[in-house]
């Protein structure tokens, strides 16, 4: 993209180097600047000047950009390789009914259950809370966690509450800040994330997982909310059935 935008700035040699970079991204992403320069019988300053013309701060930033592009393409290929039916099937396969029943027991004993989610996963969490409140009105949804420090300062810690965090990546900074605060105060934390080792899971009392590999439209990350909804709907039915029995 940048090679097209800034092509008018490039010399013939810089054009040749740019074409080589585009055709050999994997190699260049791991290459030293002097190695690339030597391939074109030039010096490192030529490469640095080219990077600046392409609106990078230097060769290291260009390499990071290449690595990100390679990673995005690899993930996109993985998602394309799996049919949507296969992704759904995997979610049912990894369902941990024992853990889910533990979560249901926590819900039943809690005076209040607080749900936290941000961005595109917030709508899925809100659906879950609305359904649960049809059975027992003690579920609260928090979406606006932008001013994290202020929210933490105002939080009242109660031992009989449960805190449920929903995040496909498990890396959302606002959620992590709140979860770290709660973990420090020995609160009960439940997390629902994509099946991975992630920072949010490390703070949880109980970790639930769905299978929701990263999905991109162009370079935009667009999480698939269906896997989250599958797990949360299973939780809802378990909770509703237990409440009806009692």
Each residue of 209-232: pLDDT tens digit? 998 887 766 666 777 889 999 999
For residue 65, pLDDT over 60 is answered with yes
Q: What is the pTM of this model?
A: 0.64
How would residue 79 be classed by pLDDT, with cut points 50, 70 and 90? Answer: low
Q: Which residues pair with 230 in a beta bridge?
A: none
| Domain spanning 2-81, CATH architecture | Orthogonal Bundle (1.10)
Would you tell me which CATH number, out of the four given (3.40.50.10490, 3.40.50.300, 3.40.50.2300, 3.90.1150.10), belongs to the domain 84-245?
Answer: 3.40.50.10490
- In this prediction, residue 167 has a pLDDT band, given cuts at 50, 70 and 90, of very high
Please give the pLDDT value at position 72. 65
Q: 167: closest CA among 205, 139, 208? A: 208
Q: How far is CA 155 from CA 150, 158, 201, 213, in A?
A: 9, 9, 21, 33
Weakest-pLDDT range from 10-19, 63-72, 165-174: 63-72
**pLDDT confidence of residue 243:** 67
Place of tokens 């396969």: 93
Q: How many residues does the chain have?
A: 246
Q: Enumerate the domain spans of the chain.
A: 2-81, 84-245
State what percent of residues in the chain have pLDDT above 90: 41
Collect all residues with Cβ–Cβ distance below 8 Å to 55 and sequence separation of at least 6: 2, 6
């Amino acid at each position: 993209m940048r090679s097209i935008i800034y092509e008018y700035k490039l010399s013939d040699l810089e054009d040749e180097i740019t074409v080589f970079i585009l055709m050999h991204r994997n190699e260049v992403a791991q290459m030293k600047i002097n190695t690339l320069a030597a391939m074109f019988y030039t010096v490192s300053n030529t490469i640095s000047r080219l990077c600046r013309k392409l609106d990078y701060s230097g060769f290291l930033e260009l390499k990071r950009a290449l690595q990100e592009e390679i990673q995005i393409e690899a993930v996109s290929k993985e998602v394309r390789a799996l049919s949507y039916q296969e992704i759904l099937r995997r979610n049912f396969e990894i369902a941990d009914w024992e853990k889910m029943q533990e979560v249901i027991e926590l819900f039943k004993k809690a005076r209040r259950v607080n749900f936290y989610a941000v961005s595109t996963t917030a709508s899925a969490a809100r659906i879950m809370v609305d359904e649960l409140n049809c059975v027992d009105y003690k579920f609260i949804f928090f979406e606006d966690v932008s001013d994290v420090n202020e929210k933490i300062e105002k939080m009242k810690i109660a031992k009989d509450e449960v805190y449920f965090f929903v995040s496909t990546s498990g890396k959302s900074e606002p959620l992590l800040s709140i979860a770290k605060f709660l973990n420090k105060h020995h609160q009960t934390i439940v997390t629902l994330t994509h099946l991975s080792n992630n920072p949010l899971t490390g703070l949880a009392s109980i970790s639930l997982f769905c299978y929701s590999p990263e999905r991109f439209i162009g370079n935009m990350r667009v999480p698939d909310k269906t896997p989250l909804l599958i797990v949360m709907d299973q939780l809802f039915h378990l909770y509703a059935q237990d409440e009806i029995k009692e």
